[in-house]
Each structure stands twice: as structure tokens, then as C-alpha cells.
Amino acid sequence: MTALTTWILPSTFIRRSRMLPVPGEVMVRPGQIVHPPDTVAQASVSLKHYMVDVYRSLGAASPAAAEKLVPYKPGHRLEHQDIIAETGGMFSRVVRTPGPGTILSTKGGKVLIEAESQRLTVKAGLSGRVSEIIADRGIMIDFHGALVQGVWGNGQTGCGMLNADPASLADRLGPATLGFNSRGAVVLAGWCDSADVLNTAAADGIAGLILGSLPARLIPQALAQPYPVLVLGGFGLFGLDEISKTTLFEFSGSEISLNCIRWDRLSGDRPEAYIALGREGEAAVDPDDFAPGQTVRVNSGPFCGKIGVIDRIIPGLSLLASGLRVSAANVSVDEKIGEVIPLANLDIIQTGDVTRMVPGEGG
């Protein structure tokens, strides 16, 4: 089977895309240095329209004749009950706009009005150099530094100084971790099991939150927060794995950027944390499949969140206690040797000083 790979890299090179979902305006130029909060592209998305049929409403001789009765051009702003067109004369008839909006078209005697629109903006999300402009859509950013990939994000982006309190790395996030020292910082903790703590973190003005794990019941509360939430390992109360903990603790006090997009397994886009360093590494590629000697993280079962090493890939299918037959491996994990763990419950952890070109993610 194709192995899932998670990158936890203290020094790497990556290229990321920042793209609009619709055509818009790119705000930066090639070669420009951008930072996480910079707006790199923007667009206006129409949410509601009115179609006013002047031709039928006024009984005009033809659509072309009706079009001449409209004195406005596309781009003109109208308020509620403004006159769109009128016949003139002693018994003049008029057509009024059903609501405020902007005229988009007057062709064929029909007036199309944009009643509501939403401004979309795309932030850089990390510090790097603009390497390519995709016309009307977005940009590619080249980045040098540390990269830590997660499994879940709440859709927010942000940046701040990494606050890695040793007392919280192996434990839950509590009120004692927050407060004045966490204001404007990205807080790192093992797990959080309280919606009140998530809300307190917002009131304290944190810039972001990185957790090893999060109970699934707190997903709605995490989605409601104004700051980015990045979960590295999965859902539960198992905390940070040793590799993520060691790597991130090394950069405590450094500026870290969070892009907490949803994980899209089809495109490869996933939530990530970046720390700009400016040093480069050596080329590396994703492994195609599991192999003996690989470092892996267990994503389910009694060893969930633990780091292990594959001893061997078991030939054929293995019978589990549940009665399922699955592809599995013998894994040494948590001082236990040769535990039988389904390959579907493992992801390869790639670490080291490497250079990697990866597909970019949207937004």
C-alpha cells in the first residue's frame, strides 16, 4: 500500500502556492519577500443577484429599445427603489430596483444587479520569496526553514513567537499556561480537554495553538476560535510525540507561522507550521511504501500518538483480534518489540536536514 508520510524537518526548502478560488487581483510581484500576515491576492465574490426585465416590464418594442431606456452603465451603484428605466412622456412608466446593488450588465433589455458581494483575501501564511505569479489567481512562495506537518486545522492562519513551556509539553493545556506571557504568542501543549480553556486562550489574545491531540468533542469549539489551532497527532488525549516535541522545543522563542487548512488527501494539502531560518538542506523524496527501519507514528489503538520503528513488514494479511485481516507490520514501540500494527494505522515520520519540493495548497 502507499504509505502516508508526515514531515517534521528542522531545515528544509519547500514551495507553497497561495491561490484564490476565483479570478481576482494578485497584490505582489515576483521576487518580493512576503511575511505571514501579508495579503498576496484578493477577489470579490458575488453572493446575491437581481435580474430586472426592463423589456417585459415596460412593454418596449424590442430588447434593444429597452436597453436604451436604461441610463446607467455597468458599475453604477443603485439604492433600494432607485429608478432603473422609464418610458418618459405624460404617462411615464418606471422600473425600480428591488434592492441596493451594483449594475453588472444591461444587455438584451435585462439589468443584472449584484446585490451582495464578499471580499476574499489570501494571506502569505509564511515568510518567503515570491517565485512565480499565476495570473489572476495567486502566487508560489519559496521558503527555507523548519516544517512540521499536522493532521487537523481549524481553517485559520497566524503567526507569533513560539511559547513552549516544558510543563505543558507532556501535559494538558491549562489556565496556568495562558495569561500575560501567552499574549501574541503561539502556545505549544500536549492536549486540551476543555472548551473553557480554548475560550480563555482567545480572551488572552494568543496568536495560535499547537496541540499534540484534541478530543473530537471539542472540534466545534476549536472551529469557533479566532486564532489558528493545529493538531499534530490526531484526536484523543495522548499528547505530543517525541519527535514533534523535541523539534518544536528547539525553536521556542522563534517566530512560527501556522497555516491550519483542512487536510485534503487528494491534493496533498495539509495543516502545517513553518519557522523561517534561511538555511538550506539536501534533496529528499517521499518514500513510496513502508519498509523495515522506518520511523513511524501510530495513529490508532493502544499506542496512538507513539513513535516506533518498523521491524519487518508481515507477508500477506494478518488476522487481528477484531477478526479483520489486514496488511500489517511488526513495530517496536514504547519499549515493546514486534507489536503487530496495521499499516493503515501508521504514517512514516520523515526528519532531518532535507530539501523537498511539494505540491502547494490553496489559500
Is the distance from CB of 244 to CB of 306 less than 8 angstroms? no
Round to whole Å and give the CA distance between 93 and 155.
51
Tell the residue number behind the cell numbers 522563542, with chain if given: 253
pLDDT of residue 340: 92
Round to whole Å and give the CA distance between 326 and 302.
17
What residues contact residue 83 under an 8 Å CB cut-off, 6+ apart?
94, 95, 96
pLDDT of residue 243: 92
Helix, strand, coil shares of the chain as percentages rounded to 5? 15, 45, 40
Question: Where are the chain's structural domains?
Answer: 45-118, 287-350
pLDDT of residue 160: 92
Could you report the per-residue pLDDT of 68-105, keeping only the tens digit for each?
Answer: 889 999 989 988 899 998 888 777 889 999 988 899 89
Which helix (H) or strand (E) element contains residue 57?
A: helix 54-58
Could you report the per-residue pLDDT of 235-251, keeping only the tens digit for each?
Answer: 988 889 889 999 999 99
Q: Is pLDDT of 281 > 70?
A: no
Q: Is pLDDT of 356 > 60?
A: no
Kindly report the CATH number that applies to the domain delimited by 287-350: 2.30.30.30
Looking at residue 146, the DSSP 8-state letter turns out to be E
Q: Which of 192, 187, 227 is nearest to 210 (CA)?
A: 187
Q: Is 284 exposed, middle or buried (0-12, 13-18, 19+ CB in 10 A)?
A: middle
Q: How far is CA 276 from the centre of its chain?
A: 18
Please report, as a single letter, which amino acid is at residue 128.
Answer: G
Q: Residues for the chain: how many in total?
A: 363
Please tell us whether the domain made up of 45-118 is placed in CATH 2.40.50. Answer: yes
Is the distance from CB of 97 to CB of 84 less than 8 angstroms? yes
Residue 51: count other Cβ atoms within 10 Å of its Cβ. Answer: 11
From the CA atom positions of the chain, what is the Rg in Å?
A: 27
Q: How confident is the model at residue 1 (pLDDT cuts 50, 70, 90)?
A: low
pTM, full prediction: 0.77
Could you report the per-residue pLDDT of 167-185, keeping only the tens digit for each?
Answer: 777 778 888 778 777 899 9
Q: How confident is the model at residue 360 (pLDDT cuts 50, 70, 90)?
A: very low
Q: How confident is the model at residue 34 (pLDDT cuts 50, 70, 90)?
A: very high
Stretch 197-212: mean pLDDT, rounded?
Answer: 93
| Identical topology for domains 45-118 and 287-350 | no
| Backbone phi and psi for residue 134, each to the nearest 5 degrees, phi listed first | -100, 110
Task: Return the C-alpha cell found at 277.
Answer: 531560518
Task: Return the C-alpha cell found at 325.
Answer: 485481516
